[in-house]
């Protein structure tokens, strides 16, 4: 018999949720669609976002796109993204393992607040690489996209049920590696579906471009709704 102890940081999470909801209202009032990408380090979040940004810049002007990257250190990812001509911001959390609403809010105000954001149509936030706590701290995004890769192990979703449950879209990345690793993608997919039937699961390879079209289309569908109803 194994004893199990579960801790939940309830109060902090509740307060963050309240602030996230206010931030969402702010995005809605601007007609700005916000996506948040979450997932473990090395799962391919940045590469996937890069591929999607290439698509976004064919439907929007680069000056209508904003990318905010949260990382413990360095601006490697935001420098990579800035090559696409879009607005990029680096948040270094200085050791903290996830972003929180006040950090995002402060960043948006520093960029110029409402007058600046009125010109932005699409905002992409990449959270710190971590499969656990970023999922408990929503940032008000219209969609939270979990990126899991096949190299992380077939049991990824079962091991992270809470993270899986709060995600709106699930991407299984690096599917081109699955056969070399002997990973059963169908099992991963059905695990994800069982834990969260609400979230569509997309198979992708940011490297080869496989699956990017489908993901982009689902993001655009949401964008059109948010941008139109503002």
Q: Which residues bind Mg ion (CB under 5 A)?
A: 45-46, 77
**What is the edge-to-edge ordering of all strands in the sheet holding 201-203?**
87-92, 65-71, 122-126, 33-38, 143-149, 169-173, 201-203
- Residue 34: its H or E element: strand 33-38
DSSP string for residues in 39-65: B-TTSSHHHHHHHHHHHHHHHS-GGGE
Shortest Å distance, C-beta 93 to Zn ion: 9
Least distance (Å) from Mg ion to the CB of residue 99? 13
Given a contact cutoff of 8 angstroms between Cβ atoms, the answer to whether 202 and 126 are in contact is no
Closer Cβ to Mg ion, 108 or 124, answer by number: 124
Pick the closer one to Zn ion by CB: 74 or 190: 74
Using CB distances below 5 to 8 A depending on partner kind, what does residue 46 bind out of Mg ion, Zn ion, none?
Mg ion
Give whichever of 103 and 218 is closer to Zn ion, judged by the CB atom. 103
List the single partner that 144 binds among Mg ion, Zn ion, none, CB under 5 to 8 Å by kind. Answer: none
Q: What angle do CA 226, 220, 136 make, to 5 degrees?
A: 70
Residues binding Zn ion (CB under 5 A): 97-98, 133
d(CA 185, CA 182): 9
Assess contact for 165 and 158: CB atoms under 8 A.
no
Q: How far is the CB of 99 from Zn ion (least distance, A)?
A: 9
Closest approach of Zn ion to the CB of residue 100, in Å:
9
51 binds, among Mg ion, Zn ion, none (CB under 5 to 8 A by kind): none
77 touches, from Zn ion, Mg ion, none (C-beta below 5 to 8 Å by class):
Mg ion
């Amino acid at each position: 018999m194994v004893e199990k102890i579960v801790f939940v940081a309830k109060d902090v999470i509740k307060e963050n949720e309240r602030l996230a909801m206010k931030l969402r209202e702010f995005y809605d009032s601007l007609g700005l669609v916000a996506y948040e990408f979450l997932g473990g380090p090395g799962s391919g979040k940045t590469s996937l976002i890069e591929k999607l940004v290439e698509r976004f810049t064919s439907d929007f002007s680069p000056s209508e796109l904003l990318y905010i990257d949260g990382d413990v250190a360095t601006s490697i990812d935001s420098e990579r993204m800035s090559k696409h001509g879009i607005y990029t911001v680096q948040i270094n959390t200085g050791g903290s393992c996830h972003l929180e609403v006040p950090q995002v809010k402060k960043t948006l105000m520093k960029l110029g607040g409402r007058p600046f954001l009125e010109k932005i149509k699409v905002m992409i936030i990449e959270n710190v690489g971590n499969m656990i706590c970023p999922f408990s701290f929503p940032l008000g995004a219209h969609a939270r996209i979990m990126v899991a890769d096949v190299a992380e192990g077939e049991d990824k979703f079962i091991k992270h049920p809470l993270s899986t449950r709060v995600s709106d879209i699930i991407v299984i990345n690096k599917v081109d590696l699955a056969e070399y690793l002997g990973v059963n993608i169908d099992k991963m997919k059905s695990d994800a579906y069982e834990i969260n039937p609400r979230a569509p699961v997309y198979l992708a390879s940011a490297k080869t471009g496989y699956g990017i079209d489908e993901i982009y289309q689902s993001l655009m569908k949401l964008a059109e709704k948010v941008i139109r109803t503002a």
